[in-house]
A and B are shown apart, each in its own frame.
Chain A
Amino acid sequence: MPRASDISRSLDRLGLTRDRRRIVYAYLAAITLFVVGDIVHPGFARLDSVTAVLTVASFVGLVAVGQTFVVLVGGIDLSVPWVLNGAAILLVTTSLGRDSLSPYALLVTLGMGAAAGAVNGFAIAFLDVPAVVMTLAMDGIVEGLTLGLSGGMTCRACASYAPPVVQDAVHGSVFGVPAALILWFVVIVVVSFILSFTTFGRKAYAIGNNPLASYLAGVNVRLVTAFLYVLSGLFAALAGVLLVGFGGQASLGMGSPYLFQSIAAVVIGGVYMLGGRGHYLGVAAGAVTLVALVSVLLAMNMPDYGRNIIYGIVILLLLLLYGREEREE
């Protein structure tokens, strides 16, 4: 029986390094889930069903972009739920459902996300506040501001709809492919490019691997780290915009599932929690795997509690799977 380390070494020689293998596993996991889902609930792997899953996964995927960026440097963003929620509410109340106001509304909304990220980044990179603490506090800050300024969603503007242009952008389709998926595809390409082929991406990986060595090699560790949090806030806000475009109206609590899901997608995608290793390509697959899992469970009419339990157990199994490879090497 060949040892896992022998198998790993052979795969290494084929160019499939451990990090690349993780990405492949993530895609395999997603495909497996569709197959299993189809067995359990025939029709699950039909095109329209797969498309629906992918569309929902795109929202998780967007939030996971930011999470990927900050986890790569060993951080985490716990402010995602309310930055997302706040952005959604900000969009509807600023645009009042009107297309004419939408450019301004989008600017303000995405700006809010970037600003929240900037405060996070500044405190974490320049004031040495632990990421867990700062982003947690920011989540509360944005929650308080959102609830306070909107009167708990009782303000007159709060019941507005998202501007039609945004709604159409999310619901529309190009050559039969949903616009949301096309947007996600563009994001995947852009983010992957940034990570693999730009000096910014190189610096991010360097910082995640060894911040001191990067600093001593002349990399501006603090600035790059802070900017990664800005990006995280930006993408969380973007996800909020698309979500409210998808659903039409904003509601309280719409952001909370996305924290766990974005982190889980990052982990399944093979990104190393302590930073320095991983790629968004894997995270995208992780998001799909996650949403597919939930959908399968829903399709099986599993009650709420069962979904939670299976969710957690599947994550643990995946962790143990990755973990074993790490340990034997």
Chain B
Amino acid sequence: MRPARDGISEPSRPAIEAIRLSKAFGGVRALDGASFSARRGEVHALVGENGAGKSTLIKLLGGRLRPDSGEVRVLGQAVELSGPSSAHKFGVWTVFQELTLLPWMTVAENLLILREPRGPLGFIDRRRMVEEARAILADMGVNGIDPRALIDDLSLAKRQTVEIARAIARKPDALLLDEPTSSLGESEVDWLFGLIHQLRAQAKCVIFTSHRWNEVAKIADRITIFRNGRDIGTFSEIDESHAVSLMTGQRLDARYPNRPPLEEARPMLEARGISGPGVIDVSLTLHAHEILGVGGLAGHGHRELFFSLFGARPTTGGEILIGGRRARMKSPRDAVRFGVALVPEDRKTEGLLLPMPVGVNLTLAVLRRISAIGVLRNGRERRLAGEMVDALNIRPPDLRHPVGTLSGGNQQKVLLARWLLADSRIVLLYDVTRGVDIATKHEIYDLTMRLAGEGRAVLIYSSDAEELAHLCHRVLVMREGRIAAELEAPGVTAEDIVSAAVREPSVVD
């Protein structure tokens, strides 16, 4: 933990302050009177678990959202931010988790949008635009990205690099970064930290969020810990276990339920040499009662692998065996028939029908069970759906409520319940605790353990290496579409997973 810097900049007037900010989404309080202040010439980290409110806070400070109550102050002055562009006027530039790049335009066009160099007649000079973009990228030490490339053709890591480069090129007074390293490799992270050092030396303010302790320790001057939407404390020095206990409010080992014992090594799903776009020669075996984890940096093939195992992505090679027999899965329908379930990452765009009632969402995968000759049996539907609502404690317990009005945690439970109804023997969980409040997270952990305990095979991907380390019997680490390492519990730590994941060729020298 870096000691607090002294003497370089006046800490008198804080650069950015959050004063008792609150924000709720459909009945769930993401932020509950959170406050903190960051100074000029300082690197300030916001730390907390998934769902603690860090992203929401960044969105409020960056102008993407408006607070329900509380104030944002820039240089001591209260400001009303109507959008990211109004934040820009105050010199506050943000790199959000959801990138704001225009996919069908080039890197150069994105870097210089609305600031393009003009020719003598007042029209954009496209050649000069490319040259200026090249200069910007070179200035910042970015070497592997051609300004003429289309954003859509770039990998996630390169896109994140472009977005970061764009924000810094605007010479911000305050730079906000939300999980900036989520898909960057080791040298790219070093590159970013180099730029952050430069900004600090120029007496600018840098605020970033992370749930990776070693990064935070490396670069932050001060950290503010968040839990359940509130700030717990600001520290210039703190050790990891203390920080973690503040983040979770519990002792480290009490956070996760115990893993069920591995009774039998009966393989339920076996993948041999699966290859396809984004996946190269992946082989793995899922056993009954087992929780197998898949880790690594975002964008390295996890999503493609999960979708391929669910029949939702075409494969160019390899085969899948279920219960020892070859299973041809060309669509999710086939997968469901074979007893495989996939709970996808983005419940809003990939999982749920938001305007439709909870009951409809719950029974979507088991239409045959609630109908006779194609006609829906209302009674049966209500009974089955009602059982699930009770079993998983879904609130509010009204089947007719549009699922979009439920909290993130309850929405996730609806999605899980859908597959519980389908009685799937093989469950693929893709980042199911993202954006979920802590209480629900624990319910989901318990549910996961129960699933495995009942004899199912569970495959989990999580962006949180801590979760994988504590929940899984084994962890496979993916890097560039391949399995790079296999780690056996007990004794796996988050660091093990992250270090196995980060070595890769990158865009920066």
Contact = CB atoms under 8 A, between A and B. Distances in A.
B and A form one assembly: yes
Interface of A: 197-200, 202-203, 205-206, 209-210, 212-220, 276-277
A213 B349 contact: yes
Given A198-B375, A202-B367, A206-B364, A216 B342 contact: yes
B348 to A, nearest CB: 9
Nearest to A203: B367
Contact of A205 (B336, B356, B365): B356
Contacts of B332: 215-218
B331 interface: yes
A329 B332 CA distance: 35
Given A215-B312, A216-B310, A218-B333, A210 B352 contact: yes
B364 A217 contact: yes
A199 B374 contact: yes
B355 interface: yes
Interface string B371-412: 100111000000000000000000000000000000000000
8 contacts: A198-B375, A206-B364, A210-B349, A213-B352, A216-B342, A216-B344, A218-B332, A218-B365
Given A197-B376, A213-B350, A277 B355 contact: yes
B353 interface: yes
Contacts of A277: 355
Interface centre among A209, A210, A212, A216 (most CB of B within 10 A): A216
- Secondary structure type dominating chain A contacts: helix
B360 interface: yes
B150 interface: no
B364 A209 contact: no
Contact of A206 (B336, B342, B356, B376): B356
Interface residues of B, number: 27
Given A197-B376, A198-B375, A277-B355, A212 B333 contact: no
Nearest to B402: A17
B376 A210 contact: no
A219 B332 CA distance: 8
A206 B351 CA distance: 11
Contacts of B360: 202, 205-206
A205 B356 CA distance: 9
A218 B310 CA distance: 10
A52 B86 CA distance: 60
B352 to A, nearest CB: 6
Contacts of A220: 331, 333
A227 to B, nearest CB: 13
B466 to A, nearest CB: 27
B117 to A, nearest CB: 36
Contacts of A213: 349-353
A218 B375 CA distance: 18
A219 B376 contact: no
Contacts of A197: 375-376
B262 interface: no
A216 B312 CA distance: 7
Given A202-B360, A202-B376, A209 B353 contact: yes
Contacts of B368: 199
A198 B374 contact: yes
A213 B332 CA distance: 11
Interface string B166-184: 0000000000000000000
B487 interface: no
B418 interface: yes
B498 interface: no
A206 B403 CA distance: 13
B374 A200 contact: yes
A18 to B, nearest CB: 9
Contacts of A218: 332-333, 335-336, 364-365
B354 interface: yes
B61 to A, nearest CB: 28
A200 B355 CA distance: 18
A220 B331 CA distance: 9
B404 to A, nearest CB: 10
Nearest to A277: B355
A101 to B, nearest CB: 34
A200 B368 CA distance: 11
